[in-house]
Amino acid sequence: MTDPVRVGLIGAGSVSGQYLKNLQRFPDVEVVAIGDIETNRAEQVAREYRVPRHGAPDLVLAQDEVEVIVNLTIPAAHAEVSAAILEAGKHVWSEKPLAVERSDARAVLETADRLGLRVGTAPDTFLGQHIQSARRIIQSGRIGTPVSAITMMQDPGSESWHPSPEFLYARGGGPLYDRGPYYLTMLVQLFGSMARVGALATRARAERAVLAGPRAGSRFPVEVDTNVMVLTEFDSGVVAQSVHSFETAHLRMGFVEINGSEGTLVVPDPNRYDGTLSVLEYGGTTWSEIPVPPVEHPQRGLGLVEMARAIRAGEPHRASGQLAYHVLDSMAAIDESVAARSFIDVASRVDDIPLVPAGWDPYECTL
């Protein structure tokens, strides 16, 4: 047996708690340091989750024992922070998106290649058994040849729960860049690379107000489209229709329907790790529910554990920088389609992503 992969975090915002709750339960990783530009916030989180070292981001970068650093900064800082992590000789696990601009994302991946290091990126929810089971059902032929998909994410907006939501309405935010990666990554897992996209978008308000936390009532500008309607064509021939919206009072999270030549498959929320799949075959009147193994504490961190094990084994990891770049490339193409009011080709491609082995358990000690 070897030692667990030691991990540091940069960014002590609200999502850090979701990571730390799980990472402390996974025996194959050990969190040893957390840093933030607001060092008092890093100290508070470190005390709450019993992380032994805390301070500024440079403290985490300087820890010799740290092999992987989790980048939990705001999207606009992702590329800069990931580059610094790589230059410090550490592998990167980044929250989505990989970067805001394609050129910055390419530079991060090129730096990783030059230094022989890895880039892993959220979302890792596609590693959950609900999406893995959906792919197995499709491959089994139960719904025939996949023809089309419909996804919907409708939400009143993140200001209803986030105490500092401004970055979610700045470049790199909005429903497309904040929530879209869950849906797009799932679709790539199921159907392969995206070939071209066409989109229309709107935004209803120039300003929004913080609704939660001590700053409730303060107003901030909306810099991105908040209602994005997308058509996607995949290399496989499947077409998808997707709604990404922060402009609806009707909360509709995780609607995913896949239509094949022999039936329809409904997949649970790709922003989660669990749920129930349902199949309706042509000519049938009753939906068949497909059991999915329950997930204990289904929160963030599965992809980091999978990458940590792959590092030790010298094997590719699944939530790769290549996958994250393809998703970013598609979102940038969606933006370009909105501006041009025409279909835009997606230039990048991603290799086939192997299924997670049946019975894969992040709570197992394997190192």
Q: What is the helix (H) or strand (E) element at residue 78, kind and residue range? A: helix 78-87
Distance between CA atoms of residues 186 and 31, nearest Å? 28
**pLDDT above 90: residue 254:** no
Q: What is the pLDDT of residues 19-58, one digit of tens each?
A: 999 999 999 999 999 999 999 999 999 999 999 999 999 9
Q: Each residue of 313-358: pLDDT tens digit?
A: 999 999 999 999 999 999 999 999 999 999 999 999 999 999 999 8
Res. 275: pLDDT tops 90: no
Question: Looking at the domain covering 5-121, what would its CATH class be?
Answer: alpha beta
296 has pLDDT over 80: no
- According to CATH, where is 3.30.360.10 located in the chain? 125-293
Give percent of the chain with pLDDT exceeding 70.
98
Predicted pLDDT of residue 359: 84
What pLDDT is attached to residue 297? Answer: 62
Q: Residue 60: its pLDDT value, please?
A: 98
Report pTM: 0.95
Question: pLDDT of 222-244, one tens digit each?
Answer: 999 999 999 999 999 999 999 99
CATH classification code of 125-293: 3.30.360.10
Query: What pLDDT sits at residue 81?
Result: 98
Q: Which part of the chain has CATH 3.40.50.720?
A: 5-121
Bridge-based pairing of strands 239-245 and 227-234 is antiparallel
| pLDDT for position 160 | 86
DSSP of 93-139? EEPSSS-SSHHHHHHHHHHHHHHT--EEES--GGGSHHHHHHHHHHH
105-140 confidence digits (pLDDT tens): 999 999 999 999 999 999 999 999 899 999 999 999
Share of the chain above pLDDT 90, in %: 87
> CA nearest 243: which of 252, 277, 362?
252
